[in-house]
Amino acid sequence: MKIVRRKSDTVVLFAGEVIEIFSSHIQIENKGKFYHEENFFNLEVLDVAELPQDFVYGGFTYVNGVFTPTDIGLAYRAKVNAEKAQADLIANQKLAQEALDKSDMVAIRCMKVNAPFPAEWQAYVADLRAVIQGISNVLPTQPAYPAGT
């Protein structure tokens, strides 16, 4: 993998497998995109083993083999993390709703044998509702089924 780094501030502008250097510009082919830099003398092409997992153009500096996020990189990372957290919450809300629906059968089984709905099941249902409402994103562990139901 190759990167194009601006010499003046070490910001990585582009990365790609195919980078061509011409007398007046550097041309980078990366997923069909090309870049021409007017002052190509301020740019350098470097080989790197791999890019950071959350790499974004302009989002990292590269010095002595180490990628460091810039403000752009940190903002991008925060956006990606927020999107992942939202996706995780939505997935957990769905699982919590499914578990809550199943917990109704436990309540019915308790009613059929005239047994109280156990406190650990009440807490479990409350924790599931907290996930569904977005108050929590931690799925609780289902307790054992009540004895005799």
pLDDT in tens, 54-72: 888 889 999 999 999 999 9
Same domain flag for 62 and 8: yes
Q: What is the pTM of this model?
A: 0.59
Q: How many domains does the chain have?
A: 2
Same domain flag for 57 and 90: no
State the Cα–Cα distance between residues 15 and 27, nearest whole angstrom. 11
Instruction: State pLDDT tens for residues 59-109.
Output: 999 999 999 999 998 998 899 889 999 999 999 999 999 999 999 999 999
User: Has residue 77 been placed in a domain?
Assistant: no
Same domain flag for 61 and 11: yes
Domain endpoint, select from 69, 97, 122: 69
Same domain flag for 100 and 62: no
Same domain flag for 59 and 111: no
Domain endpoint, select from 19, 36, 69: 69
**pLDDT of the residue at 83:** 93
User: Has residue 97 been placed in a domain?
Assistant: yes
Same domain flag for 44 and 97: no
**Range of 112's domain?**
82-132
Same domain flag for 51 and 88: no
Same domain flag for 6 and 64: yes
Residue 13's pLDDT band, with cuts at 50, 70 and 90, is confident
Q: Which of 61, 56, 14, 47 is nearest to 33 (CA)?
A: 14
Same domain flag for 56 and 95: no
Q: What is the longest distance spanned by two Cα atoms in the chain?
A: 87
User: Has residue 76 been placed in a domain?
Assistant: no
The answer for residues whose C-beta is within 8 angstroms of residue 22's C-beta and 6 or more apart is: 40
Q: Report DSSP letters for 25-81, one per residue.
A: -EEEEBTTB----S-GGGEEEEE-S---TT--TTSEEEETTEEEE-HHHHHHHHHHH
**66 DSSP β-pair partners:** 63
